[in-house]
Amino acid sequence: MPVMSETPTEKVKRLRLELDQLRAELAAAESDLNSQLEDVQAFEFRFEAHVGQLLDQLATLESEVNSYLTRIKLMRHQQSFANSGPAFDPVEEQFRQTWHHEPETAVPQPPATPPPATQAQLKKLYRQLARQFHPDLAIDEADRQYRTDKMAAINDAYKAQSMVELMALAEELEAHQSRQQAAAPLDQEMAQALQEEIDRCRRRLRSIDNELQNLPNRSMVGLALQVKLAQREGRDLLAEMATELERKIARKTAERDMLRSQFNHL
């Protein structure tokens, strides 16, 4: 807790130390999150190579089987009416009418709301701020530290593609330059800038903590854990899944071929 009698200069020194500690914690948290995300991505690649394509193949076969079943049912229904009642349209025509509908007239939709900022606008404002906030333009050491902190905030805002944050920084720069014309930055202003950066680091730390806590809820993370547990038992769970899918694909392929033959004989 800050001491009530501390001077503005002492407050700036304390906030700088606090910010340095927070940045170290933030760097460690970012590294931990990125490492875990890389592990998840690596497993997703393994899953896709062993199982993903087989799942897609099975889904395609199931769709074909359902399509043949529907078409056979329709053909038999139409043939029964053709043999027992008055003349009907040919089967091909009824099939065409059933399965090929004229597209409905599209209801005019209001134009989509344009994005708040284009990539070009973001880049233009970022470059402008980067030039104006460059530490080499500082008039003293306090101003250099201020500009260095703000450059970090600018880089983070651009990385997040946040036009709102960049515009706020632009407004702050304008106010900062106006103050410089009258006098050098005061310690109170530096303390405020440091406090803002501290708050930003804390928000990012909370966000990373939430991401890490929610990571186990991802389906791939749970499956990766099952694969590791099976590996300890000497089993290759992904290979077992692939084998089972191949059996299902073989059965579904035979079913599809049988239905196609029935359809062709109708």
Is 190 domain-assigned? yes
Q: What is the pLDDT of residues 155-184, one digit of tens each?
A: 888 888 888 888 888 888 777 666 665 544
CA angle 85/74/253 to nearest 5° reads 150
**Percent of the chain whose predicted confidence (pLDDT) is above 70:** 79
Rounded Cα–Cα distance for residues 24 and 157 (Å) = 19
**Minimum mean pLDDT among 25-34, 37-46, 47-56, 83-92: which range?**
83-92
Does residue 230 form part of some domain?
Answer: no
Residue 244 covered by a domain? yes
pLDDT exceeds 80 at position 66: yes
- The pLDDT assigned to 73 comes to 87
Domain assignment of residue 40, given as a range:
24-98+235-266
**133 part of a folded domain:** yes
**String of b and e for 59-87 (b: at least 16 CB within 10 Å)?**
eebeebbeebeebbebbeebeeeeeeeee
Q: What b-and-e string marks burial along 216-244, b requiring 16 or more CB atoms within 10 Å of the CB?
A: eeeeeeebbeebeeeeeeeeebbeebbee
Stretch 255-260: mean pLDDT, rounded?
A: 91
Which residues lie closer than 8 Å to 92 by C-beta, 6 or more apart?
A: none
pLDDT confidence bin for 142, thresholds 50/70/90: confident
Say if 226 falls within a structural domain: no
Q: What is the count of structural domains for the chain?
A: 2
Residue 204 shares a structural domain with residue 121? yes
Q: Is this structure's pTM higher than 0.75?
A: no
Same domain, 201 and 130: yes
